Amino acid sequence: MTVAKQSDLTPAQRAHTRRVLWMLLTYAVVLPPLLWLHAHREVSNTASLVMAIAASLPVLGIFASWGRYVSDEHDEYHQSMALRRIAVATNATMGAAVVWGFLQAFGVMPLVEAYWIPTVWVVMQGMFGCIEFFSRRSAQQ
């Protein structure tokens, strides 16, 4: 079963999945102690800056991994599907950010941390991936 599932993935997809899992693991390991330190200890501004950058690096790594995947993928179909997913996620995220931004600017909605924007992007990617998967399945049936 595992072998069958693995063979469905292209080498570039496998490498991308591995990289993303490593980045998520690093994120999960790095973030809790940083948040704990920030909440319970007096930390200088320089140390806080280093901590904030350390927390963002795994997420930046995930974006870099997406870029590397698009460039490494030799299967044109998979590459075009990834580009479509990225385009849809980017448009939807930018749309949401612009709407929320104007609601904030006119004082109708509260300000939120900017990292919610990349979070929305990742969720949009996943949602569009699911839609693609189910529409492919229903087309096959």
Partner 1 sequence: MTRSPAAKRYNRRVIRLSLLYALFLVIAVSGFNRGLLHGLVAYFAAVLPALPIIGVFGAIGLYLVEEQDEYVRMLMVRQSLWASGFALSIATVWGFLESFDLVNHVDAYYIAVLWFGGLGFGACVNKLTIGSAAGQG
* Contacts with partner 1, residue ranges (CB under 8 A): 38, 45, 48-49, 51-53, 55-56, 59-60, 63-64, 66-67, 70, 83, 86-87, 90-91, 93-95, 97-108, 111-118, 121
User: Among candidates 36, 74, 82, 68, which has minimal Cα distance to 55?
Assistant: 36
Q: Which is nearer to partner 1, 15 or 96 (CB)?
A: 96
In whole angstroms, the minimum distance from the beta carbon of 123 to partner 1 comes to 13
Q: Which is nearer to partner 1, 91 or 135 (CB)?
A: 91
In whole angstroms, the minimum distance from the beta carbon of 64 to partner 1 comes to 7
Please state, in angstroms and rounded to a whole number, the distance separating the CA atoms of residues 94 and 82: 18
Sort 74 into a burial class: Cβ within 10 Å, 0-12 / 13-18 / 19+.
Answer: exposed
Q: Please answer whether residues 93 and 124 qualify as being in contact, where contact means their C-beta atoms are separated by less than 8 angstroms.
A: yes
Q: Which is nearer to partner 1, 18 or 84 (CB)?
A: 84
In whole angstroms, the minimum distance from the beta carbon of 65 to partner 1 comes to 11
Give the three-class secondary structure for 46. Answer: helix
Q: Which is nearer to partner 1, 6 or 80 (CB)?
A: 80
In whole angstroms, the minimum distance from the beta carbon of 32 to partner 1 comes to 13
Around 101, how many Cα atoms within 13 Å sit in the side-chain half-sphere?
A: 8
